[in-house]
Amino acid sequence: MTELVHARPDTPRAALVTVGDELLLGDTVDGNAAWLGRALAELGLRVVHRTTVGDDPAAIRAALQDEAARADVVLVTGGLGPTEDDRTREALAQAAGVALRTDPEIVAALEERYRARGYERLPPTNLRQAEVPEGARALANAYGTAPGLALEVGEALLVALPGVPREMRGLFEDHVRPLLASRFEGRLTPVHVRRVHTTGIPESVLAERVEAALEGLEAAIRAAVEVAYLPDLRGVDLRLTARGARKQAEAALEAVEEALADVVAPYRFDDPEGDLAGALGERLRARGLRLATAESCTGGLVGRHITDVPGSSTWYAGGVIAYANRAKTVLLGVPEQLIEAHGAVSEPVARAMAEGALRTLETDVAVAVTGVAGPGGGTPAKPVGTVWLAVADRWGGGDARLERFAGDREAVRERAAQAALKAVYDHVAPA
């Protein structure tokens, strides 16, 4: 159980209600629920339950009352828009047994906002957004029109937030976080989190090695840190969580991080967002180096990840998507005979691609990827997932390696792209 082993007995319980027909009908995936769950858990609350209902005031009211009976705080998202389908305000009022009244300050703010955008007047439908349950506090929305609402219902605090993710997150940070911190002062176990980003090692193998490495730790320290494995196509993130007073928590985290250092070292990269291209960019920028890419099976995915990083033009000159074999020759100077002799997916061709990119784009370092992404194109000698990676630098250094990636076309391409970024990252590591 990923339950918080060290939660205090008086840890406040949180519950969520997410509102919208589009959620029940599957038109929208409930990303808000995941974001809030994580934010509340890291704040130190225990998320105990979640309900999703459609745009039906009776169902919303029932869900609010139900969750309010089992939690100290209930967050409800959605249903605060200006249309007829937006029923959360009235449901909240009904759950609290109070009336809705129009708040003139909110009306004035809405009118001002529309005037500023060049509209002559506020569309009448938007007036609904100024309705506030008696006794509720409006939470100013700097990111949209609907204010959030906070209201006591029985022993519980109910907080209504817009469903638009950017607005929801903005109001959470502006209002909800400080509100909860003060309401539950003394009851929130501070959470300290460290993330270790890895790529190139499967979750199960990593978990086995990490657990073995942690066995040597003192029992109290090992018990103080929860280790979670968060895998996706790009790699596995290790999330280390410790609760309690900063000094002891950080000491425990430090001990755990040290204990697994050797295990993760070959696979680890450092970036605040867990973005390998960002980490690579930092290394290249710090050393004043420029990179070129030569891609075949990844078809532009490596370039895309690199250029996802703002400011990448500082350290990335560009690249070649040499998808057809002829393109490898005309764009990268890979001799036709080399491709004929060894095949496009081979060490000599990978190396020639990297050297070609280095030369043509006049950079300090270059990386090449050539492989069989699937579903077709595999042979017994080179099945789907076979990928050659090569790095070349202008001081004559270079490296090539063969990988076998599991999974479908998408998985092979993504894993190959990550491996290419990691290959350069390692090649330009500080001495």
Q: Which is nearer to a second copy, 106 or 277 (CB)?
A: 277
Output the smallest distance, CB 377 to a second copy, in A: 8
Output the smallest distance, CB 87 to a second copy, in A: 9
Output the smallest distance, CB 64 to a second copy, in A: 14
d(CA 37, CA 322): 44
Kindly give, in sequence order, each residue whose CB lies less than 8 Å from that of residue 169, ignoring residues fewer than 6 positions away.
35
d(CA 205, CA 195): 18
Q: Which is nearer to a second copy, 141 or 241 (CB)?
A: 241
Output the smallest distance, CB 198 to a second copy, in A: 17
Q: Which is nearer to a second copy, 41 or 289 (CB)?
A: 41
Output the smallest distance, CB 430 to a second copy, in A: 25
Output the smallest distance, CB 105 to a second copy, in A: 28
Q: Which is nearer to a second copy, 67 or 403 (CB)?
A: 67
d(CA 32, CA 153): 23
Return the SS3 of 12.
coil
Per the DSSP assignment, residues forming a β-bridge with 240 are 194, 227
Output the smallest distance, CB 132 to a second copy, in A: 23
Kindly give, in sequence order, each residue whose CB lies less than 8 Å from that of residue 427, ignoring residues fewer than 6 positions away.
365, 391, 393, 397, 399
Output the smallest distance, CB 320 to a second copy, in A: 6
Kindly give, in sequence order, each residue whose CB lies less than 8 Å from that of residue 245, ignoring residues fewer than 6 positions away.
190
Q: Which is nearer to a second copy, 20 or 133 (CB)?
A: 20
Q: Which is nearer to a second copy, 26 or 124 (CB)?
A: 26
Phi (first) and psi of residue 401, to 5 degrees = -150, 155
Q: Which is nearer to a second copy, 33 or 354 (CB)?
A: 33
CA 239 to chain centre: 13
Q: Which is nearer to a second copy, 148 or 356 (CB)?
A: 356
Length reported for the chain: 431
Q: Which of 293, 292, 285, 213 is nearest to 255 (CA)?
A: 213
Kindly give, in sequence order, each residue whose CB lies less than 8 Å from that of residue 316, ignoring residues fewer than 6 positions away.
281, 290, 291, 292, 293, 303, 306, 307
Kindly give, in sequence order, each residue whose CB lies less than 8 Å from that of residue 118, ignoring residues fewer than 6 positions away.
none
